[in-house]
Structure 1
Amino acid sequence: MSESVQKKLLRVRPPRVRITYDVHTNGAIEKRELPFIVGIFADLSGDRDPDADPAVPPDIKERKMVDIDRDSFNEVLKQSAPRVALKDVDNVLPGGTGKLNGAIVFESLSDFDPIRVVDKVGALDEVFQQRKLLRDAQARAEISDVAAQALEAATAGVEEASAWSEELAGKLAEGFPEKDDGFKTGLAAAFEKHVVPVITAPGGKGRGAALSIDFAVRAIDSALSAQLSAVMHAPRFKEMEATWRGLFHLVSRSETGTRLKLRVFNATLKELQDDMDKAVEFDQSKLFKLIYEAEYGTYGGSPYSLLLGGYELGPGAPNMSFLEKISGVAAAAHAPFLSAASPEMFGLKGYADLAKPRDLAKIFEGADLTKWMEFRDTEDSRYVSLVMPRVLLRLPYGEKTLPADGFDFEEQVLAAGNVPENDHFLWGNAAYFLAERITNAFSLYSWTAAIRGVQGGGLVEGLPIYTFASGGDDGIKELFCPTEVAITDRREKELNDLGFIALCHCKGSGKAAFFGGQTTNRPKRYINADANANAALSSRLPYILAASRFAHYIKVIVREKVGGFLTRANVETFLNAWISQYVLLDDNASQDVKSAFPLREASIVVVDVPGEPGAYRATVFLKPHFQLEELTASIRLVADLPA
């Protein structure tokens, strides 16, 4: 008898860690599992339209978290009304002067494609429409002798007169009797503007109509490429495209459903900073109410398991103040916060120069990084992780890289000497890629420890592969690093010790991996070796995620039991009995067994809160099985229990 499909799947599917709690419903006991919810904060609207009514987005106090998945992605994008003003983009079209006018409003992710951008920029669309007229006339001439003769007559007339005239425009129009006057007028204008200069240029005579139009279209494509590159390389355009493509990377690769949810909140970094600065304490801010009170602190709420900021944070005072306050929110809600580290942290303009400093630790001895070092010593800094460097989100557009629809767009990304210019590529926030590894681990195992190493869940695959000629006559091609800089093992260790999580590119491939998991916290040093090991491991992201997961369950369980306990000892006994279900003392057990019992050791100590009768505080000690370090390690977690 053949094996059932279910038994075969048991061998294929990774074992799942299943943590549940009991809920009594009409006399029956129901086991429930908390969903893993990721809260994402990012500037989704870009340059706000001052004339929009109602305002998009509304005032920050009126905004809400919005669920997002693959099906609703474009709907969320449209509602966010991403907008990029063109007032700072030079008009480099032939004959153009000054700056471009207007703004681009995006309604779907495909609106970031070159042909859609051309359609939304008036100056570009005008030239592109003339290109279409020339190609339409050329295509018509291939099937119509009348149209072909008209084009040849117009071309021959220009060759003789070296100029354009109304008479030639009339001859050209005679070749397209089925077309309306608008087409004929537009074709004449396009012919005069683009084809006549080709014919009258040195060596331009005698080519014939078809070849002359080909030369004209090639010149149009070159002009469009230069102007479109200027638009797409504008800082605000790149920021908007990087935000949405980075978010799409996370959303499209996450198996969202009832167990895994993604939610976005539209806000600039300054709006969040102002919100937290105006609050007397961090627990009075909009951010705290969204993350803690609305979910973790509300009966029936589903706590956030992870927070992500689509921002780059540097050493400046506003950013440091934000980090201090967001760490308080993250610690209170037991939801680690991920964001990107700005190269300014290292005194650099870009990560391409990260290999130049000999000793990174010396940089952090400077007075300008004093606040950063003080922040690292705080207890709540364990709930903050800064990821770097930036990640290439797409290949540059071009015939041999990423062909664009509509015309031959060659995105200008090379500097002098045909060397790639970093600033002309689309770089994204690496925190989206780490968050994707976390959601992937949860989807596979219902546990978020497998997020580090090549075989341990930290491998990022499918990065864009761009090659370029390195110069010289040998024609050797080089691979452009899709993580902006290649990080060596030694440098990765330095970055890890300094409180950063680095994405390391695998040389000669489109792969990269997260090896470290260090949060921004600087572990305290003790005399005892075991204490040092505990402090080090307790400041690493996989263990913070594991501890936070149990903290959420404990909060929900005790909230369900409020009014059912008489003493502190009752609470402690019940919680220890619950958590003991997930403890396995056998270090040699199989992965299947350890997946059902993810903890090596666990205990919960409950104490009274002074001055608050009936209120307790739980200290949780956890030692997970899923750890790569062969050290004696425990995690200490303090969680307030509802009265």
Structure 2
Amino acid sequence: MSESIQKTLLRVRPPRVRITYDVETGGAIEKKEIPFIVGIFADLSGDADPDNPLPLFKDRGMTDIDRDNLNDVLKTSRPRVKLSGIDNVLPDNAGTVTPDAKLSGALLFESLDDFEPTRVVARIPQTSALYAARGVIRGLQARSETSDALAGVLDELAKPDAQALRAPLLTTFDPSKGAADWEQAAIDPDATAAAAPAARLLALLMDTGAEDQDASKKRALSTIGEFVRQIVQPLQASQFLPEKIAKGAAAVLIDERVAQIDRALSAQLSLIMHAPAFKALEATWRGMFYLVSRSETGVMLKLRVLNATRRDLLKDMEKAVEFDQSALFKMIYEAEYGTYGGFPYSLLVGAYEFGPDSEALDCLKKLSQVAAAAHAPFIAAAGPALFGLDGFDKLGKPRDLAKIFEGIDLTGWREFRGEEDSRYVSLVLPHALMRLPYGRGGRACEGLDFQEDVGAPDQSAFLWGNAAFVLAERITHAFSLYSWTAAIRGVEGGGLVEGLPLYAYDTSAGTRELFCPTEVTITDRREKELNDLGFIALCHCKGAGRAAFFGGQTANRPKKYITDEANANARISAMLPYILAASRFAHYIKVIMREKVGSFMTRGNVENYLNTWIAQYVLLDDNAPQEVKAGYPLRMALVEVTDVPGEPGAYNAVVFLKPHFQLEELTTSIRLVAKIPA
């Protein structure tokens, strides 16, 4: 369960493992610890600008990212969404919508706040102009609340029978023009009661104390012109509701016009923010923010991101003669794991979805080779197309999921699961809700009554993100607590996800329901099916804002053997918590022995040294509490070192690891008896 921020800040960390290695330095022994580094691959740019393209893939690099520089990384990534193809449903000055009109240009983002509705409105000329007009008449209304004279003039113009009084204003301030023309109106301020409304308004709106009276007059004329366009013209054309007109109050008409503008902007914003390109880019960056903001980054935990699409990765790996010649391999393996002084990547996260198509499977296969070579498990999302579905909201409909994967279209997926390297790949599902919809009952939008159109609600209208970010956060959280990553499963075992967005809605039956923040509620039976098929499911807790990861199965399908012991070894070798553990030890042994190269060590010396080192992470007590086992990951460990024939000083080391096993399933038999057995 969650704890207060005070407890978090004052928390005395529970027993934790500190995997260290010794470096001989001038007779003294220095303890060193390898940081846990998460590499993230994500398309951070969206619709790249052809006039300002990104660097070639081979020239890109991994960038450190944390809470302090997230917006800096976002800005340098140049996120962009093309607006062409999105319908323009904003009314013109006459209040009509042009059929088949489209927006043009592109949206550029420089910070995470730029995804907020008011920021989006400000960056599009059509919406920006309408929103500015809204601000002008709201400002005029605010001034009238403190000036009885101004309120009186506005109310005179708002009377139902004041057509003759309004007509000169429409001539002087042509609604089809703009501020540049209105500011040239030949009107002199006159506050007397006998003066024309335009002259009286000008006198009341001008700032008599301003140094630049000419600029003050232009601002006042522009305000009058906007009032004419937004209030006088629609009133003259009877475009307001009759009951609103009958009240003869300018404040009522301004409120009504502002509501009309908000509805128009809401309709346009919904189309923009629900465009596939916008949703994909926003979901990626909100997923990044979710992981970055909840990870305790520092010296021992680092996040690094690579701006690349899935196609960028595939093209790079396809061009290489062998997988170890690709730029990605050199970036992940050679530059860190394979370099003296480098710190290896402990986890790779892909902000991508993988389906059954050959391109996706080819990319996944090649990524698994890089992950296996670097001993860095790769987690990403499974797409609904992998199940033959167009959305995970239909995941509960198939009677038998296993039968789906027997189809000929999924032959490539079955073959991939049989490969050894597939144990370094984990696919997560379904999606996670990245934010609440804007509007009443959801997320407030400051400065605009934006009611995001989500239908009844319609699943496709919500902002769904990659659940791999959620699992990655559980892994970094476990490392922050224990310096180990075994505690990532179960409600009590570290797999509990809290603080998911809660959204309630009214059903057609008249009841009020809580919207599922993980797209679909997964039953225990279905979760077990998914786990057996090589997927990790995020299971929502019904009626609550939390979910949990119960499974930890990688994409690998454990082979079947003739002995139970071999089958057990195959099963635990395909579990993500155990792969993370084995990979962590692989990194340390590589670094340790690289330091020992050139020293006078026999086979026995090497074996004794490694066994002594690894023994400090073994806990023999099977009854130890969860927190202690989370800190001491091994139940038993043994390192065997053998000579390489014909190569003096060359040795082979085999590391046997037995982790503390986690509860997978429990079969219970209930019997009614007259007497409890002794």
Alpha-carbon distance in structure 2 between the residues aligned to 1:76 and 1:351: 32
The match for 1:634 is none
Alignment of 1:276-287 (within 5 A): 276-287=317-328
Where 2:246 maps in the other structure, the secondary structure is: coil
Relative to structure 1, is the Cα distance of residues 612 and 42 closer, same or farther in structure 2, using a 3 angstrom cutoff? farther
For 1:467, which of 482, 487, 504 is the aligned residue? 504
Aligned to 2:106: 103
1:466-502 C-alpha deviation (Å, 9 max, x unpaired): 1111124xx4201111000000001001100110000
* Aligned equivalent of 1:449: 486
Q: Is the 8 A contact 1:17 1:446 kept in 2?
A: yes
User: CA separation of 1:325/1:188 partners in 2, compared to 1, >3 Å: closer, same or farther?
Assistant: same
Query: Does the 8 Å contact 2:488/2:495 carry over to 1?
Result: yes
Q: Distance in 2 between matches of 1:190 and 1:46?
A: 39
What amino acid does structure 1 have at the position aligned with 2:14? P
1:206 is matched with which residue: 241, 246, 249?
246
TM-fit CA distance, 1:365: 0.7
User: Counterparts of 1:410-489 in structure 2 under 5 Å?
Assistant: 410-414=451-455, 419-472=456-509, 475-489=510-524
Question: Which residue number in structure 2 is paired with residue 222 of structure 1?
Answer: 263
Question: In the alignment, is residue 166 of structure 1 matched against residue 171 of structure 2?
Answer: yes
Residue deviations 1:529-561, cap 9 Å, x none?
A: 122122111100000001111101000000000
Instruction: Summarize the alignment of residues 51-450 of structure 1 with structure 2, pairs less than 5 Å apart.
Output: 51-52=51-52, 55=53, 57-94=54-91, 95-96=97-98, 97-156=100-159, 159-161=162-164, 165-166=170-171, 171-172=197-198, 173-174=201-202, 175-178=204-207, 179-185=216-222, 187-194=224-231, 196-198=233-235, 200-201=238-239, 203=242, 204-207=244-247, 208-414=249-455, 419-450=456-487
Q: Look up the equivalent residue of 2:21 and give its one-letter code.
A: Y
Give the partner amino acid of 1:77: L
Using the alignment, how far apart are the partners of 1:158 and 1:379 within structure 2?
Answer: 84
Q: Secondary structure at the match of 1:519?
A: coil
How far the C-alpha of 1:90 sits from its partner, in A, is 0.8
The structure with the larger Rg is: 2
Over the aligned positions, Cα root-mean-square deviation in angstroms equals: 2.3
User: Does residue 1:497 correspond to 2:532, yes or no?
Assistant: yes
Q: Give the drift of 1:44.
A: 0.6
Contact 1:81–1:105 under 8 Å retained in 2: yes
Contact 2:493/2:626 (CA < 8 Å) preserved in 1?
Answer: no
Greater mean deviation of Cα atoms: 608-617 or 143-152: 608-617
Match of 2:184 in 1: none
Mean CA deviation greater in 514-523 or 603-612: 603-612
Q: Distance in 2 between matches of 1:595 and 1:351?
A: 33
Q: More deviation in 452-461 or 20-29?
A: 20-29
The 5 A counterparts of 1:562-641 are 562-589=597-624, 594=629, 597-607=632-642, 614-625=649-660, 627-629=662-664
> What are the Cα deviations for residues 343-390 of structure 1, in whole angstroms up to 9, with x where unaligned?
000011110111111111111011111010000000110000000000
Report the CA distance between 1:81 and its aligned residue. Answer: 1.4
How big is each residue's C-alpha offset from its partner over 1:440-490, in whole Å with a ceiling of 9 and x where there is no partner?
Answer: 000011111100001110000010111111124xx4201111000000001
User: Relative to structure 1, is the Cα distance of residues 503 and 599 closer, same or farther in structure 2, using a 3 angstrom cutoff?
Assistant: same
The one-letter amino acid paired with 1:448 is T
Indicate if the aligned counterparts of 2:43 and 2:351 stay in contact, CA closer than 8 A: yes
Offset at residue 191 of structure 1 (A): 3.2
Which residue of 2 is the match for residue 22 of structure 1? 22
Please state how far the C-alpha of 1:154 moved relative to its aligned partner.
2.9
Confirm or deny: 8 A CA contact 2:170 2:228 kept in the other structure: no
AA aligned opposite 1:116: R
Would the aligned equivalents of 1:37 and 1:261 in 2 still touch at CA under 8 Å? yes
Question: Is the aligned partner of 1:531 residue 2:593?
Answer: no
> 1:6-43, CA deviations, whole angstroms, 9 ceiling, x for partnerless residues?
xx999953211121111122321111111110000000
CA distance in 1, matches of 2:146, 2:503: 41
State how far apart, in whole Å, the 2-side matches of 1:224 and 1:611 are.
78
1:305–1:548 CA contact under 8 A, matched in 2: yes
1:490 and 1:506, CA in 2 relative to 1: closer, same or farther beyond 3 A? same
- Cα distance in 1 between the residues matched to 2:619 and 2:171: 91
Moved more, 10-19 or 57-66: 10-19
Contact 1:273/1:322, CA 8 A, preserved across alignment: yes
**Matching residue of 1:639:** none
CA contact (8 A) 1:195 1:213 kept: no
SS across alignment from 1:582:
coil
Aligned residue pairs: how many? 615
Rounded to whole Å, the distance in 2 between the matches of 1:455 and 1:469 is 33
Residues 596, 429 of structure 1: alpha-carbon distance in 2 compared, 3 angstrom cutoff: closer
Structure 2 distance, partners of 1:452, 1:22, is 32
Q: Cα gap change, 1:301/1:165 in structure 2, threshold over 3 Å: closer, same or farther?
A: same
**Structure 1 gaps, min length 5:** 1-7, 632-643
Equivalent residues in 2 for 1:5-44, closer than 5 Å? 13-44=13-44
> Under a length normalisation based on structure 1, what TM-score does the superposition of the two structures give?
0.91
Q: Give the structure 2 partner of residue 4 of structure 1.
A: none
Separation in 1, partners of 2:646, 2:405: 43
Q: Within 2, Cα distance between the matches of 1:276 and 1:506?
A: 40
1:91-133 per-position Cα deviation (integer Å, ceiling 9, x unaligned): 0112345211111111111111111111111111010001011
Alignment CA distance shift 1:88-1:526 (3 Å): same
Q: Tell me which amino acid in the other structure corresponds to 1:504.
A: C
Residue 591 of structure 1 deviates from its aligned partner by 5.8
Per-residue CA deviations over 1:562-597 (Å, capped at 9, x if unaligned) read: 011454444333222221232233434566765664
Aligned-partner residue type, residue 352 of structure 1: D
C-alpha distance in 1 between matches for 2:435 and 2:624: 44
Distance 2:58 2:268 in 1: 39
Aligned to 2:245, the other structure's residue is in SS state coil
Q: What percentage of residue pairs aligned between the two structures are identical?
A: 63
Q: 1:121 to 1:11 in 2, by over 3 A?
A: closer
State which drifts further: 180-189 or 362-371. 180-189
Whichever residue aligns with residue 262 of structure 1, its letter is: L
Instruction: After superposition, give the CA deviation of every residue in 1:147-172 in whole Å (9 maximum; x if it has no partner).
Output: 22332233248842586622588734
CA shift digits 1:190-221 (9 cap, x unpaired): 53245532561351533221101111111110
Q: Aligned AA for 2:416?
A: F
Alignment partners' CA distance in 2, 1:262 and 1:574: 32
Contact 2:378-2:425 at 8 Å conserved across structures: yes
CA distance in 2, matches of 1:315, 1:294: 32
| Mapped partners of 2:325, 2:61: distance in 1 | 16
**2-structure distance, mates of 1:563, 1:128:** 71
Paired amino acid for 1:521: N
Return the alpha-carbon distance in structure 1 between the equivalents of residues 24 and 620 of structure 2.
30
Distance in 2 separating the partners of 1:288 and 1:621: 27
